[in-house]
């Protein structure tokens, strides 16, 4: 599973954040490693053009093998909280999406077996 961290010009992620993000995602998404080809993390700051300190936004997109990509985002007051919130949301979405796909595949194989028996 490849992990790519991106940020716009308003947020400085740095090498240490990228290493930390890579470690965190590899750990939390370990059970999906065979289903995910790549995870893209996008960090940005909302309202960066205003004088007040803007909120951080983390968007994560997981590219799945044999399925459309899934994406989530989370807004928070800090980069760390935005990342952790998006990571939790992505994990729940992957659990739901991949469980649903596995359930669908198992039903298809049962129907095919029944169809073959009827012939």
Whole-number Å distance between alpha carbons of 109 and 10: 50
Which structural domain range is residue 106 located in? 2-118
CATH (domain of 24): 3.30.160.100
Q: Please report which confidence band the pLDDT of residue 81 belongs to, taking 50, 70 and 90 as the band edges.
A: very high
Q: Please report which confidence band the pLDDT of residue 49 belongs to, taking 50, 70 and 90 as the band edges.
A: low
* Structure confidence at residue 67 (pLDDT): 85
* Structure confidence at residue 60 (pLDDT): 97
Are the beta carbons of 46 and 55 closer than 8 angstroms? Answer: yes
Q: Please report which confidence band the pLDDT of residue 112 belongs to, taking 50, 70 and 90 as the band edges.
A: low
Number of domains the chain is built from: 1
Contacts of 50 (CB under 8 A, 6+ apart): none
Are the beta carbons of 43 and 54 closer than 8 angstroms? Answer: no
25-36 pLDDT per residue, tens:
999 999 999 999
Q: Please report which confidence band the pLDDT of residue 4 belongs to, taking 50, 70 and 90 as the band edges.
A: very high
Whole-number Å distance between alpha carbons of 34 and 48: 38
């Amino acid at each position: 599973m490849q992990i790519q961290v991106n940020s716009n010009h308003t947020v400085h992620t740095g090498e240490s954040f990228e290493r930390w993000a890579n470690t965190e995602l590899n750990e939390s998404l370990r059970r999906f490693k065979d289903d995910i080809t790549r995870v893209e993390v996008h960090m940005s700051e909302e309202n960066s053009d205003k004088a007040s300190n803007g909120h951080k936004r983390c968007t994560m997109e997981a590219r799945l093998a044999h399925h459309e990509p899934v994406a989530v985002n989370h807004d928070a007051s800090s980069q760390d909280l935005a990342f952790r919130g998006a990571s939790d949301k992505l994990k729940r979405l992957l659990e739901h999406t991949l469980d649903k796909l596995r359930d669908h595949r198992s039903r298809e194989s049962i129907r095919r077996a029944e169809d073959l028996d009827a012939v």
